[in-house]
Amino acid sequence: MLTKDDLTRYERQILYTDFGENGQKRLKQAHVVVAGLGGLGCSASLYLTCTGIGHVTLIDCDRVELSNLNRQILHYEEDIGEGKSISAARKLAKLNSSIEVTPVVKKITERNAREIIKEANLVIDGMDNFETRFILNRACVAEGIPFIHGGVHGLFGEVTTILPGRTPCLSCIFPEIPHRQVSLPVFGVAPALVAILQVTEAIKLLAGFGSLLTGKMLYFNGNTMDFTFRKLVKNQNCPVCGTKEV
């Protein structure tokens, strides 16, 4: 299953005892959907690709703008005006030609979300708005697919791993859609850090080792360098994952 080149390329991570060749094989068989190719999605897809996830699907309907370049590190000056998922896929194919990278230029809607994610083993939240996050959350709960939430604001970030049926879902955590600012302040380092935490979760979840950020939110404060946690509680009346009969 692993080729000679795979064994060489991933040599240093295969040396990690809990992971090994078996973990690498599991990553090679995995399909991860990255929803959004902005600050979070660029960094996340970069690390999913270099770690050897067998199939990475990139979804974004926006085009690259100059004001994206402080944080969306797969897009360069020459890509301004191009679709973000296409721009990202081109760089990722050069980094690792042994995996499959599928760019999708589509807006995620209530109507198409389940179809877009249904083949995935997990979905990485790279969105910049809660409306689409909630659509993805509903689709992931309906399809039983893990959803690794990440969010940033300024130098702050948050991450949690949602396992449908086992942990609180995004609607349990945020009963109402948080107010949306038109243009959030963001330093590039904040989504980079959050995305790498999301991929760390993805690697462990797919390869089956370690413990996950389930049932708790990790908060990162770049101003003070504090990392804190909040326990998350499942809402039995949750309209998305609640167990009570309506």
Least Å from the CB of residue 235 to Zn ion:
6
Nearer of residues 72 and 137 to Zn ion, judged by Cβ: 137
Does 203 sit near Zn ion (CB under 5 A)? no
Nearer of residues 188 and 215 to Zn ion, judged by Cβ: 215
97-105, 169-177, 186-194, 222-230 -> range binding Zn ion (CB under 5 A) = 169-177
Does 217 sit near Zn ion (CB under 5 A)? no
Tokens of 3: 């080729």
Residue selected from 40, 108, 122, 169 as contacting Zn ion according to rule CB under 5 A: 169
Does 213 sit near Zn ion (CB under 5 A)? no
Does 241 sit near Zn ion (CB under 5 A)? yes
Does 140 sit near Zn ion (CB under 5 A)? no
In the block, tokens 């697919």 appear at 145
Does 171 sit near Zn ion (CB under 5 A)? yes
Nearer of residues 173 and 193 to Zn ion, judged by Cβ: 173
Least Å from the CB of residue 116 to Zn ion:
21
Segment 43 to 102, residues that bind Zn ion, using CB under 5 A:
none
Least Å from the CB of residue 44 to Zn ion:
23
CA dist 142 and 75 (Å) reads: 33
Question: What is the size of the binding site for Zn ion (CB under 5 A)?
Answer: 6
Residue selected from 14, 89, 172, 192 as contacting Zn ion according to rule CB under 5 A: 172
Q: Please give, one letter per residue, the 3-state secondary structure of the chain.
A: CCCHHHHHHCHHHHCCCCCHHHHHHHHHCCEEEEECCCHHHHHHHHHHHHHCCCEEEEECCCECCHHHCCCCCCCCHHHCCCEHHHHHHHHHHHHCCCCEEEEECCCCCCCCHHHHHCCCCEEEECCCCHHHHHHHHHHHHHHCCCEEEEEEEECEEEEEEECCCCCCCHHHHCCCCCCCCCCCCECCHHHHHHHHHHHHHHHHHHHCCCCCCECEEEEEECCCCEEEEEECCCCCCCCCCCCCCC
CA dist 39 and 128 (Å) reads: 9
Does 218 sit near Zn ion (CB under 5 A)? no
Least Å from the CB of residue 234 to Zn ion:
6
Nearer of residues 120 and 141 to Zn ion, judged by Cβ: 141
Nearer of residues 140 and 203 to Zn ion, judged by Cβ: 140
Does 137 sit near Zn ion (CB under 5 A)? no
| Phi, psi (deg, nearest 5) at residue 15 | -65, -20
**Residues near Zn ion (CB under 5 A):** 169, 171-172, 238, 240-241
